[in-house]
Structure 1
Amino acid sequence: MEYRKLGNTDLVVSRLCFGGLTVGPLQANLPIDEGARIMVEAFKRGVNFIDTAELYETYPYIREALKLYNENHIIIASKSYAYDKDTAKNSIEKARRELNRDVLDIFLLHEQESEHTLRGHYEALEYYLNLKEKGIIKAVGLSTHTVRAVEVASKMDEIDVIHPIINKAGVGIQDGTVEDMLEAIKKAYTNGKGIYGMKPIGGGNLIKDVPASLDYVLNIEELHSIAVGMQTVEEVIYNVNKFINKEIPREIINRISTKERKLHIDFWCEACGECVKHCNHRALEIIEGKLIVKKEKCVLCGYCSKYCPQFCIKIV
């Protein structure tokens, strides 16, 4: 496994980061022991970096994985929607308590959009910076689906780490093209920011083109690490082998390709109807203010996700 220093921080992370969202209640909802076992498989294969968030409710999985692995060098990045001192304090204490860690490696402001949202969350950022001075947090930053937030953060001395969405199709980028995002990432990299990408497979919407999707992000030198969601041991083996340029066993490819998948709608969907308009298979419908998937008609093409302004549509 390749390891890189995360920007100007003192953290050295594996190029493959375990995306912790997918095992938890918001997606696969695996039993804690099963999710932890999958994480441990990644750790044993050289992954030393895991991404999570307060929203994901996966702290118990990570805590159990760390207990099973019995090693102290796993780097954890988390994030929350905290906006002031009180909410920031609550988020930090929850993370420390549920992860059973006195010191947090990376803590981010979750889903920042621009200088305006950063201004609205600045009191929380100040609290994190104060804890950084005390040695309770090692690095602070933000996650984002927008080009603008990357551009703004790249110029802020307060920001150590940026976690942007990036994939070959630009799925989920809310305010520009993939070329725009790449340019912003390169500027942030030049300014010494630690950068680890998210959603290289577009939230599952590029599942039919995984090899090319991973090749795309692996060829972006400015990404110190790339978070990939994994729900099975087979997916761990596939991704680790891909990242270390090792042949992937045929049986692993077969198991992954035959895994049953579904179109998943996140709970924050506002039922705006844009996806319904663009579904040529008529597999989506809004009923009583809620987006419904007609499984018998859905072909899992992922086309609808391009039109979701909130990136609520995933293939899991």
Structure 2
Amino acid sequence: MRQVKLGLWGPEVSEVCFGSLAISPLQGRVTEAEGASVLRYALEQGINWIDTAEIYDNYAQIAKATEGYPDVQIISKSYSVSAEEMRLSLEKARTALKRETLDFFLLHEQESALTLKGHSRAWEELLRAKEKGIVRRIGISTHAVAGVRAGALQPGLDVIHPILNYQGLGIIDGTLDEMLEAISFAAELGIGIYAMKIFGGGHLSHDPEKAINFVRGVPGVQGMALGMSSREEVDYNLLLLSGQEVPRNLREKVKHRERKLYIADWCQGCGLCLEACPQGALSIEKIAVVDNKACVLCGYCGRVCPHFCLKIV
């Protein structure tokens, strides 16, 4: 499998990072055991880093799947605001993942310099943790152009995980060209960049080769996180990345698998999900309603619903 260097000072990793949101309870597409089996299979095929987050609630699943793979890199993230919250997040990750030292830890969904300022205490704690050897590399994930630009100037930042696809789907504050300019700016500073949502939450899966080749062709982007919840999806993506012909039966099984956000009819219309949606894809019309063109199927809305009404299916 093709290896890439993540930024000027980062490690060498496989071009594709296993996006574990797809096997987490947040999306509920597979059981914990099934998800661990899929992840283990991906590691056996040569994928050697994993993207997760505290809200995915799948540390135990990853720890189980990575037994015997001590060199696999794990990236996690949290919404911590204070230093104490960040200390708790780091300790939770170290304990549950069974890692004395965390490979990467990011601030989750940072939108701008203002957002980063609001999380300054948590960032300072990340810097201290890096100095102590608790975490090797730190950074941010973002759906925003302003987030990439602000992150690039953040002291001590090593990696940025931005949303990126050929239609600019999911960018919350600007155009695709503006995102490309921001990524170029960050890359010139030596920052490691790995893209998310390259298939636009499934909206671009009709032409996966175009989606992959676009991201591969963006200067400064070294890798990409791909969500996979079956062995067939692992095989499919790795064949695409290698440039090999994908068998027709595998292509039909994976390529046209439709997914959507399901909203149960017992929704109370409380509106909490609207605040959790970074895409602004939800509205209230007595109950929650989704704009399927705007939704990128992240599942973040489901985590805040007190009545368990929202789920990716």
* 8 Å Cα contact 1:20-1:51 kept in structure 2: yes
State the match for 1:38 in structure 2.
38
The alpha-carbon distance between structure 1 residues 275 and 149, as it changes in their structure 2 partners (threshold 3 A), is closer
State the match for 1:59 in structure 2.
59
Q: Do structure 1's residue 269 and structure 2's residue 274 form an aligned pair?
A: yes
User: Deviation at 1:221?
Assistant: 3.4
Identity %: 41
* 8 Å Cα contact 2:10-2:158 kept in structure 1: no
Find 1:305's aligned residue among 275, 292, 295: 295
Q: Which amino acid aligns with 2:274?
A: C
User: Deviation at 1:291?
Assistant: 2.4
Distance 1:224 1:292 in 2: 33
Root mean square deviation of aligned Cα: 2.7
Deviations 1:138-178 (A, max 9, x none): 00010001101111221233211111000111111011111
* 8 Å Cα contact 1:132-1:138 kept in structure 2: yes
Q: Which amino acid aligns with 1:105?
A: D
* 8 Å Cα contact 1:32-1:64 kept in structure 2: no
* 8 Å Cα contact 2:142-2:163 kept in structure 1: yes
The alpha-carbon distance between structure 1 residues 218 and 249, as it changes in their structure 2 partners (threshold 3 A), is same
State the match for 2:22 in structure 1.
22
Deviations 1:223-268 (A, max 9, x none): 1110111111111011111112222222211221454533356973
1:138-149 alignment runs, 5 A limit: 138-149=136-147
1:1-316 alignment runs, 5 A limit: 1-67=1-67, 70-257=68-255, 259=257, 261-264=259-262, 268-270=273-275, 286-291=284-289, 302-305=292-295
Distance 1:267 1:259 in 2: 29
TM-score, normalised on structure 2?
A: 0.86
SS in 2 for 1:89: helix
Distance 2:142 2:259 in 1: 26
Distance 1:125 1:270 in 2: 23
SS in 1 for 2:22: coil
Q: Which amino acid aligns with 2:102?
A: L
* 8 Å Cα contact 2:77-2:107 kept in structure 1: yes
The alpha-carbon distance between structure 1 residues 178 and 5, as it changes in their structure 2 partners (threshold 3 A), is same
State the match for 2:268 in structure 1.
none
* 8 Å Cα contact 1:33-1:64 kept in structure 2: no
Unaligned ranges ≥5, structure 2: 264-270, 303-309
Distance 1:226 1:271 in 2: 24
Q: Which amino acid aligns with 1:92?
A: L
* 8 Å Cα contact 2:201-2:295 kept in structure 1: no
The alpha-carbon distance between structure 1 residues 250 and 176, as it changes in their structure 2 partners (threshold 3 A), is same
Aligned length: 295
Unaligned ranges ≥5, structure 1: 277-284, 294-301
The alpha-carbon distance between structure 1 residues 33 and 247, as it changes in their structure 2 partners (threshold 3 A), is same
Distance 1:126 1:251 in 2: 51
The alpha-carbon distance between structure 1 residues 119 and 292, as it changes in their structure 2 partners (threshold 3 A), is closer
TM-score, normalised on structure 1?
A: 0.85
